[in-house]
Amino acid sequence: MNKYYDQSLVPAMAVAIVKDGKIVYQTTHGVKDLSSGAPVDENTLFGISSNTKTFQQPWLDNW
Protein backbone atom coordinates (compact mmCIF):
# COMPACT_ATOMS: atom_id res chain seq x y z
CA MET A 1 0.00 0.00 0.00
CA ASN A 2 2.85 2.38 0.72
CA LYS A 3 4.20 2.03 -2.82
CA TYR A 4 0.74 2.58 -4.36
CA TYR A 5 0.09 5.62 -2.18
CA ASP A 6 3.49 7.12 -2.94
CA GLN A 7 2.75 6.87 -6.69
CA SER A 8 -0.80 8.24 -6.44
CA LEU A 9 -1.95 11.83 -6.56
CA VAL A 10 -4.42 11.55 -3.69
CA PRO A 11 -3.84 13.38 -0.39
CA ALA A 12 -5.08 10.46 1.71
CA MET A 13 -6.34 6.90 1.63
CA ALA A 14 -7.56 4.23 4.00
CA VAL A 15 -7.66 0.49 3.38
CA ALA A 16 -9.38 -2.26 5.32
CA ILE A 17 -9.57 -5.95 4.51
CA VAL A 18 -12.49 -7.81 6.05
CA LYS A 19 -12.65 -11.59 6.32
CA ASP A 20 -15.56 -13.45 7.89
CA GLY A 21 -16.96 -10.17 9.21
CA LYS A 22 -13.75 -9.17 11.00
CA ILE A 23 -11.13 -6.61 10.03
CA VAL A 24 -7.91 -8.54 9.41
CA TYR A 25 -5.85 -5.61 8.09
CA GLN A 26 -6.23 -1.85 8.16
CA THR A 27 -3.96 1.05 7.33
CA THR A 28 -4.18 4.76 6.57
CA HIS A 29 -1.89 7.07 4.61
CA GLY A 30 -1.73 10.80 4.09
CA VAL A 31 -3.42 13.86 5.53
CA LYS A 32 -7.07 14.78 5.94
CA ASP A 33 -6.36 18.52 5.86
CA LEU A 34 -3.72 19.87 3.51
CA SER A 35 -3.39 23.20 5.30
CA SER A 36 -2.87 21.79 8.81
CA GLY A 37 -1.25 18.51 7.81
CA ALA A 38 -3.56 16.61 10.19
CA PRO A 39 -3.06 12.89 9.50
CA VAL A 40 -5.75 10.49 8.39
CA ASP A 41 -6.78 7.96 11.04
CA GLU A 42 -9.26 5.11 11.41
CA ASN A 43 -12.05 7.62 12.20
CA THR A 44 -11.58 9.82 9.12
CA LEU A 45 -14.66 9.93 6.86
CA PHE A 46 -14.16 9.78 3.09
CA GLY A 47 -16.72 10.77 0.47
CA ILE A 48 -17.27 8.10 -2.15
CA SER A 49 -18.09 10.49 -5.01
CA SER A 50 -19.40 8.78 -8.13
CA ASN A 51 -18.84 5.25 -6.81
CA THR A 52 -22.61 5.00 -6.31
CA LYS A 53 -22.87 3.98 -9.97
CA THR A 54 -21.13 0.74 -9.02
CA PHE A 55 -23.78 0.05 -6.39
CA GLN A 56 -26.70 0.94 -8.66
CA GLN A 57 -25.72 -1.22 -11.62
CA PRO A 58 -26.60 -4.65 -10.09
CA TRP A 59 -29.99 -3.23 -9.05
CA LEU A 60 -30.68 -1.94 -12.55
CA ASP A 61 -29.66 -5.27 -14.10
CA ASN A 62 -32.38 -7.02 -12.09
CA TRP A 63 -35.07 -4.40 -12.57
**H-run or E-run covering 52:** helix 52-61
Q: What is the mean pLDDT of residues 28-49?
A: 90
Write the pLDDT tens digit of every residue in 5-19. 778 888 898 888 889
Q: Is 32:42 a contact under the CB 8 Å cutoff?
A: no
Q: Which of 37, 9, 39 is nearest to 27 (CA)?
A: 39
Q: Enter the pTM of the model.
A: 0.60
Write the pLDDT tens digit of every residue in 22-33. 999 999 999 999
For residue 40, pLDDT over 90 is answered with yes
